[in-house]
Structure 1
């Protein structure tokens, strides 16, 4: 469970444990599954699930299994990184998608993980693990490296203090290497992440700035590594990031619009 490794002592904690039992691999669960995965007695789970279903937070199918309900989606869309950010970014993401018809992604930071809030993919796009609403570690993704590079120092140190999971031979796996890459991102204003999770995939990512000129999100384009020169994608990714930043009211976006400093690398 992401929220707590032990059974939560409060009612709110137990409700969160029930909701946290769902995942991309387990989107539909029986009452027994929920009880086991949440670490709660079956009677307690039955009561909580009944109340959640009554409010629309969970939905029960004809087989008696449960899935996340639309009410939770409505609430989640009110998050600061939700509908407003996606609406501002979508026109630029669509333009960027037309460049390759592969994957274009928008993500935000949650301490040591990135959360994907939007993705556009073509039918023949390369297979990748990310999905809308999904999470991946910051050290192994292009958007994660960008977001961590511009994150507060204490967030960076927290990410550097935990073991860096290796997904492929190319995954960044040492704190010293990660520090070097983060410094490069701050200097260059973009990153190329080559085969860190899927060895055959390559991404180019750039930061998106908000009203306070702080980085609030990152965008990336993910393409097959073979036969791709990532340098040809950098200008398009940075231009899209600059456009979203301008739409969000970032002062630097208006100040340096068209300026070569945005394309220095």
Structure 2
């Protein structure tokens, strides 16, 4: 059965990823499994529409129009709108980098971020995806994910830094503690010199719909204060998510 034009265009967009943010035409064709001539025609159409942008180097990147459309999705628009004032309050109280993230299949998708004052190496960006097992927000989301998701992530553990937890039994114990204690921490597991702490954000039915996290140089002295601040912010977001205004926004 022949592949539709729509499927081929989606294959081209799907060729991009965290490790492949800029691609040449030949790379796009190869990763999408398309003949070069077909890729050339479809890429030109996607570029004219704004789904792709062309750099001075000749490489293609995801275009602004796709990002604008993505922001209209309820998981982004609703959550970002509900969480925005609480993220700013959290930043004002800690001056640390603040993250709001959701689970996207087996990865963490960062949907909002406020950069902190401290010179802490932070690799996440709004719209980027990172491994769940190496991030604070990821561990929160993984702890509350369906069992099949946890099982698949446990089979794909990889080392990002020398401190990344890659032993399934150890990670499972950490996830158990996340559910019991209500927060997750990391120590230089995603980036050397960066520690994180995160808590769940619950939706109208009490389900975990997102994770709220902070990145700091050291957690040893400030963990209790940061957890308390995160919980206050997460509860505030949760109240907005359960309000009539939020429900109407998703109707």
Give the alignment's TM-score, normalised by structure 1: 0.83
Q: Which residue of 2 aligns with 1:185?
A: 178
With a CA cutoff of 8 Å and minimum separation of 6, indicate the structure with the bigger relative contact order: 2
SS at structure 2 position matched to 1:233: helix
Distance 1:56 1:68 in 2: 9
Q: Any conservation in 2 of the 1:103–1:125 contact (CA below 8 Å)?
A: no
- Aligned mates of 1:182, 1:28 — CA distance in 2: 35
TM-score normalised by length of structure 2: 0.87
Moved more, 166-175 or 139-148: 166-175
**1:135 matches 2:129:** yes
- Partner of 1:81, secondary structure, is helix
What corresponds to 2:46 in structure 1? 52
Runs of at least 5 residues in structure 2 that lack an aligned partner in the other structure: 245-251
Q: Which residue number in structure 2 is paired with residue 232 of structure 1?
A: 225
Aligned to 2:150: 156
Q: Map of 1:71-90 to 2, 5 A cutoff?
A: 71-90=65-84
Structure 1 45/100 Cα, relative in aligned 2: closer, same or farther at 3 Å? same
Query: Where in structure 1 are there 5+ consecutive unaligned residues?
Result: 1-7, 252-265
Matched, 1:216 2:209: yes
2:237 is the counterpart of 1:249:
no
1:198 deviation in Å?
1.7
**1:97 counterpart residue number:** 91
- Structure having the larger proportion of residues in helix: 2
Q: How does 1:115-134 map to 2 (within 5 A)?
A: 115-134=109-128
1:24, distance to aligned residue in structure 2 (A): 5.1
Q: Give the aligned CA root-mean-square deviation in angstroms.
A: 2.4
Describe the SS at the equivalent of 2:198: strand
**Helix, strand or coil: the match of 1:219?**
strand
* Cα deviation, residue 14, structure 1: 2.5
Q: Give the structure 1 partner of residue 163 of structure 2.
A: 170
